[in-house]
Amino acid sequence: MPDEIKDHHFDAIVIGSGISGGWAAKELCELGLKTLVLERGRNVVHNKDYPTAQMAPWEFPHRKEMPRKFVEENPLITTAAGFGEDTAHFFIRDKDHPYVQEKPFDWIRGYQVGGKSLIWGRACPRWSPYEFINPARFGYGIEWPISYEDMAPWYSYVERFSGICGNKDGLEAMPDGEYLPPFDLNCVELNVQKKIREHYPDRHMIAGRWAHLTKAADIHLQQGRAQCQARDECMRGCPFGGYFSSVSSTLPWAAKTGNLTVRPFSVVHSIIYDPIKGKATGVRVIDANTLQTTEFYARVIFVNASALNSNLVLLNSTSSRFPNGLGNDNGLLGKYVAFQNYRGSLGGTVDGFLDKYYYGRRPLDQMVANFRNLKKQDTDFVGGYMAFLSAVRGAADGHELPEQIGAAYKEAVSEPGGWTMYMYMQGETIPKETNTVSLSKTEKDQWGIPLLVTRVDYDDNDEKLLKDFLTQSAEMLDKAGVKNIQTYDNHWAPGRDIHEMGGCRMGKDPKTSLLNGHNQFHNCKNVFVTDGACMTSTGNQSPSILYMAFTARAAHHALDEMKKGNL
């Protein structure tokens, strides 16, 4: 057992080992701080703990589908994107981690070292400057305490290390970053891109920006990672390290410093606050297996448990100074929870191009940058949306044959069929005081911690934004030559987007926010929150790369403040 574990004292404690927690560990360890990472789930070691990574479809008992009984027992988690027999080991089971839904909310979770970085979607566009300024400018949110210009160098910092592919497209709505070569658009996508450009000068379809090593740079080879093999089996765990995750990248890098201690099966009960010292002094942990309670101590604490769990930990961190949760003088902790709107999708068929195909199973979609409400509000709703889209060519179905079995049928379905195209939205939502999470007053989990209660819902703005997406996207695809277009509203509950945000938002004014521009509590300076809980608004871009940038920036600020004696 490391000496630090024996005496329970560290320079820094990180709660959570996912995308932002891994970055906190990397930065703090590199900066010379002895760092403890607490993870409530089991340990996962890169490559060693990817049991299905190299399995063929026929090697799964149910051909990657889940048995009916499992689905009946787990109606929530089995709806998650990417969930299946080949990835189930990285997701929770419903009954093991209950919560209270006062309004329907699909809370998708993966509890293990690496967290949801093993099962994330991997889209990594930058936020635009407008996403930081428009909520306050157009009156649907408070002012962010930072700007795009503040974050741009930190975006670059994390992009170079993580490995993000994409083009430099020169778009205001989706600023350029430090990119590896993109995955090519296929022939149909190139044609659709051309047609959109011809008909809509202000709308831009671009190559997707995703956390995949299309051409591994030296920094990635130093991490032990290699080029993405275009297998599209990412959520099983990538044995090549072709996509970014905590277990393939930041945590091993932190471990090389000799400053990292990772403690799995550590359910965080609360953060310990000392009213005499006027700061947090440590973290109270319950062993997931033995139920033994242990306390660990540090000068600085990073909260990266994923947005809703971070809210839960903070709400449960009560003291004589903070009877309603850590830092919660204004009563806003757990409020202004938000998410991203994924309800809209559409698709259709594409004629021609039957003499062309593509190589590999590309693990990403292309992107359409937001074109709504950028420099001015030009619709009857606020916020914007971006879209993901791809063209694919499936197998011929062989339905013209009289027999659906035999050699002739096998040969028929071995040939490619026609092209189809699909498109789906990612929309901004308004953080509202009425969208909340709180602690149950009557129900507790198996560790004696109050269950989280969710009260989160859509609003009229979401409906208007969804309608506009479906109308405009169908029009764009029609002008691009897509036929038989059908639009869908999946009516998902909030949460299934897996982009929950807010509850402990950043801001300039301690009366209306909990964190400052460096992700520190206004009134508890040695606690930082850099996961989705810190978000002041949702934007329309995927947020994970922003969490990484926030975390790296906050870690360097923390060290500077420690050197000055302020922490």
**For the chain, the helix, strand and coil percentages under 3-state DSSP, each to the nearest 5:** 25, 25, 50
- Report how far apart, in Å, the C-alpha atoms of 500 and of each of 196, 425, 454, 536 are: 31, 16, 11, 12
pLDDT higher than threshold 80 for residue 96: yes
pLDDT of residue 327: 98
* 213 and 161 Cβ atoms separated by less than 8 Å: no
Q: Are the C-beta atoms of residues 536 and 169 closer than 8 Å to each other?
A: no
CA separation for the pair 412, 351 (Å, rounded):
20
Contacts with 482 (C-beta within 8 Å, 6 or more apart), sequence order = 192, 348, 349, 350, 421
Looking at every residue in the chain, the average pLDDT score rounds to 96
- Per DSSP, 509 falls in state -
Q: How confident is the model at residue 395 (pLDDT cuts 50, 70, 90)?
A: confident
The distance of Cα 554 from the centroid of its chain, to the nearest Å, equals 19
- DSSP-based three-state secondary structure for 316: coil
Percent of the chain past pLDDT 70, that is, above it, reads 98
294 located within any domain: yes
pLDDT tens by residue, 80-92: 999 999 999 999 9
Is the pLDDT score of 407 beyond 90? Answer: no
pLDDT in tens, 273-327: 999 999 999 999 999 999 999 999 999 999 999 999 999 999 999 999 999 999 9
Instruction: Please say if the pLDDT value at position 4 is more than 70.
Output: no
CA dist 316 and 439 (Å) reads: 8
Q: Quote the CA–CA distance of 204 and 199 in Å, as a whole number.
A: 11
Q: Are 38 and 294 in contact, with CB atoms under 8 Å apart?
A: no
Q: pLDDT value at position 415?
A: 81
For residue 400, pLDDT over 80 is answered with no
What are the tokens at 50? 């990817």
Give which of 141, 145, 516 is closest to 327, Cα–Cα.
516
For the chain, percent of residues with pLDDT exceeding 90: 94
- Give pLDDT, residue 3: 54
Q: Which two tokens stand for residue 168?
A: 């430099």
The pLDDT tens digits of the residues spanning 524-556 come to 999 999 999 999 999 999 999 999 999 999 999
Q: How far apart are CA 262 and CA 6, in angstroms?
A: 14
Query: Would the pLDDT of 514 be above 90?
Result: yes
- Helix runs in 1-139, H state only: 3-7, 19-30, 68-73, 129-137
Question: Quick one: pLDDT at residue 77?
Answer: 97
Residue 183 lies in a domain: no
Rounded to whole angstroms, the Cα distance separating 81 from 423 reads 15
Least confident range from 6-10, 249-253, 485-489, 530-534: namely 6-10
> Quick one: pLDDT at residue 185?
97
Beta bridge partners of 436: 455
**Burial of residue 78 (number of CB atoms within 10 Å: 0-12, 13-18, 19+):** middle
Contact in structure between 166 and 157 (CB atoms under 8 Å): no
Q: Residue 256 pLDDT > 90, yes or no?
A: yes
Angle at 108 between CA 29 and CA 309, to 5 degrees: 50
If we measure between CA atoms, which residue out of 312, 315, 336 comes closest to residue 327? 315
- Which helix (H) or strand (E) segment holds residue 546: the answer is helix 544-563
pLDDT of residue 409: 76
Longest dimension (CA), the chain: 83
In a domain, 376, yes or no: no
- CA 298 – CA 301 distance, rounded (Å): 7
pLDDT at 413: 75
What's the average model confidence in pLDDT over 155-180? Answer: 98
What angle, 0 to 180 degrees and rounded to 10, lies between the N-to-C axes of helices 544-563 and 148-162? 100
Residue 88: inside a domain, yes or no?
A: yes
Q: In terms of Cα–Cα distance, which of 143, 111, 37, 47 is closest to 513?
A: 143
182: three-class secondary structure by DSSP: coil
Angle CA 429–435–439, to nearest 5: 140
Domain hosting residue 32, numbered range: 15-166+208-341+428-457+494-563
The per-residue pLDDT for 477 is 98
CATH of the domain at 40: 3.50.50.60
Q: What are the tokens at 99?
A: 């919560």
Helices (H), 291-394: 307-315
Residues composing the chain: 567
How much is the pLDDT for 402? 64
pLDDT value, residue 63: 93
139 in a structural domain = yes
**Pick from 164, 112, 39: nearest CA to 548:** 164
Task: Please state the rounded mean pLDDT for residues 473-481.
Answer: 98
Q: Residue 197 domain-assigned?
A: no
Position 2 scores a pLDDT of 54
Q: Do residues 142 and 513 lie in contact, with contact meaning Cβ atoms separated by under 8 Å?
A: yes
Structure confidence at residue 157 (pLDDT): 98
Looking at the DSSP bridge assignments, the partners of residue 100 are 453
Task: Specify if 265 maps to a domain.
Answer: yes
- How far the first Cα of the chain sits from its last, in Å, is 28
CA distance 300 to 3: 19
Q: Is 133 helix (H, G, I), strand (E, B) or coil?
A: helix
Mean pLDDT of 220-230: 97
Domain count, the chain: 1
Give yes or no for residue 411 having a pLDDT over 90. no
Cα angle 313, 314, 315; round to 5: 95
**Full-model pTM:** 0.97
Element (DSSP H or E) covering residue 95: none
